[in-house]
């Protein structure tokens, strides 16, 4: 039986997921989030390791002498050194597409909140402001229609397309920049510069790599309208957080809504912490019950496929 180590179980469930099917993979051992020597000790005899956000670098590969397979409980794989994995003949597989609906839903939750200020109105009402109101309705906070507004999408993969489809239902004008040009109904492809210049809402849906790291920086932010909003549900590293904080404080853009940060969990020194025009959620876009069930199912299928000599969803060639 293969020795299988499953790490970061605590990042995948709050008691609502069933891990029993994973025992069919072999001699399975589960760990919650661990680091340092405890992590190295956990993987030292493993032939297969399943991870979420654990950073698999050369040092951890060196500690994994028997390793043949890494399964990732995620679509993104920038936490695994693929060059090192390829040198050692280790198969790395991810789970594509499992959270498309979930991420698109949170993206539009952000857009609706930025346009409608629903949380501000709810908080105000519960603080008694409506009780104190001299009129039947009061509206101190921004509430604008999405119809006719320009939604810019950076990255037109499955999630970007799903977001575009929702935007079309709101009669928004949808523009997009994508590395690989393709025709998507209701979407006009534009240059990167035009995307930043014309979007009323700009949402990021691209992987984190050398080309997209610090995509949102002082230069690109300076192109945006002062009334524009930035949304990021991809990876924190696509944003220069200091540049964004400066833009938000100075009014270069109107606001931002982020589900991801450069450092996670969030650090008190994060320059975006406590900014009134920056909504931050704790990397939850992928966490609907439905998405996590799909994630576990496909991650197990990936591992079984590898054991059967027919790997699926390998990312080894995507260095």
What CATH number corresponds to the domain at position 84? Answer: 3.40.50.720
Same-domain pairing of 107 and 89: no
Complete edge-to-edge strand list for the sheet that includes strand 201-204: 187-189, 173-177, 150-154, 201-204, 229-232, 255-258, 278-280
Confidence of residue 181 (pLDDT cuts 50, 70, 90): confident
Same-domain pairing of 119 and 224: yes
pLDDT of residue 176 exceeding 90, the answer is yes
Structure tokens at 270: 């994060």
Contact 188, 175 (CB under 8 A): yes
The rounded distance, in Å, linking the Cα atoms of 272 and 263 is 12
Same-domain pairing of 77 and 114: no
Same-domain pairing of 19 and 91: yes
What is the reported pTM? 0.93
Confidence of residue 319 (pLDDT cuts 50, 70, 90): confident
Same-domain pairing of 122 and 107: yes
Contact 5, 29 (CB under 8 A): yes
Catalytic residue among 283, 292, 294, 300: 283
- What mean pLDDT is predicted for residues 129-158? 97
| Phi and psi angles of residue 51, each rounded to the nearest 5 degrees, phi first | -130, 165
Largest CA distance in the chain: 74
The rounded distance, in Å, linking the Cα atoms of 216 and 193 is 12
pLDDT of residue 135 exceeding 90, the answer is yes
Q: What is the pLDDT of residue 211?
A: 94
Tell me if residue 300 is catalytic.
Answer: no
Catalytic residue among 29, 59, 145, 264: 264
Which residues form the domain of 53?
Answer: 3-98+289-307
Same-domain pairing of 197 and 180: yes
- What mean pLDDT is predicted for residues 224-233? 98
Residues 6+ apart with CB under 8 A from 109: none
Closest CA to 114 of 262, 234, 253, 235: 253
Confidence of residue 180 (pLDDT cuts 50, 70, 90): confident
**Average pLDDT, rounded, for the chain:** 97
Identify whether 315 is part of a domain. no
Q: Where are the beta strands (DSSP E) in 67-177?
A: 69-72, 91-93, 150-154, 173-177
Tell me if residue 126 is catalytic.
Answer: no
Q: What is the pLDDT of residue 289?
A: 98
- What mean pLDDT is predicted for residues 232-249? 98
Identify whether 316 is part of a domain. no
User: 182-194, pLDDT tens digit by residue?
Assistant: 899 999 999 999 9
Same-domain pairing of 183 and 80: no
Same-domain pairing of 170 and 276: yes
Total tally of structural domains belonging to the chain: 2
Same-domain pairing of 104 and 173: yes
- What mean pLDDT is predicted for residues 186-213? 96
Same-domain pairing of 24 and 163: no
Confidence of residue 235 (pLDDT cuts 50, 70, 90): very high
Confidence of residue 73 (pLDDT cuts 50, 70, 90): very high
Same-domain pairing of 173 and 238: yes
Same-domain pairing of 232 and 104: yes
Tell me if residue 205 is catalytic.
Answer: no
Closest CA to 5 of 26, 21, 20, 24: 26
Identify whether 141 is part of a domain. yes
Identify whether 57 is part of a domain. yes
Catalytic residue among 235, 292, 294, 300: 235
């Amino acid at each position: 039986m293969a020795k299988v180590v499953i790490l970061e179980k605590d990042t995948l469930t709050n008691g609502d997921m069933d891990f029993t099917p994973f025992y069919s993979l072999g001699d399975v051992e589960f760990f919650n989030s661990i680091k340092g020597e405890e992590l190295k000790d956990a993987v030292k005899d493993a032939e297969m390791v399943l991870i979420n956000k654990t950073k698999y670098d050369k040092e951890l590969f060196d500690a994994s002498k028997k390793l043949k397979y890494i399964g990732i409980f995620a679509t993104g794989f920038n936490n695994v050194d693929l060059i090192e994995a390829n040198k050692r003949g280790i198969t790395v597989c991810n789970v594509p597409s499992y959270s498309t609906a979930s991420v698109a839903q949170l993206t539009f939750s952000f857009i609706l909140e930025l346009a409608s200020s629903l949380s501000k109105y709810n908080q105000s009402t519960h603080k008694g402001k409506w009780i104190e109101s001299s009129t039947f309705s009061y509206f101190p906070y921004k509430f604008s229609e999405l119809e006719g507004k320009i939604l810019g999408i950076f990255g037109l993969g499955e999630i970007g397309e799903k977001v575009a489809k929702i935007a079309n239902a709101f009669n928004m004008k949808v523009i997009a920049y994508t590395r690989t040009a393709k025709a998507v109904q209701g979407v006009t492809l534009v240059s990167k510069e035009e995307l930043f210049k014309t979007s009323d809402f700009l949402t990021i849906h691209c992987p984190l790599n050398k080309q997209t790291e610090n995509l949102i920086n002082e230069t690109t932010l300076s192109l945006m309208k002062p009334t524009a909003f930035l949304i990021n549900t991809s990876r924190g590293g696509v944003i220069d957080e200091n540049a964004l904080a400066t833009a938000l404080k100075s009014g270069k853009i109107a606001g931002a809504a982020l589900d991801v940060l450069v450092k996670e969990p969030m650090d008190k020194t994060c320059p975006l912490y406590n900014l009134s025009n920056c909504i931050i959620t704790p990397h939850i876009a992928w966490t609907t019950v439905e998405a996590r069930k799909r994630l576990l199912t496909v991650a197990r299928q990936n591992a079984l496929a590898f054991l059967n000599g027919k790997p699926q969803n390998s990312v080894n060639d995507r260095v």
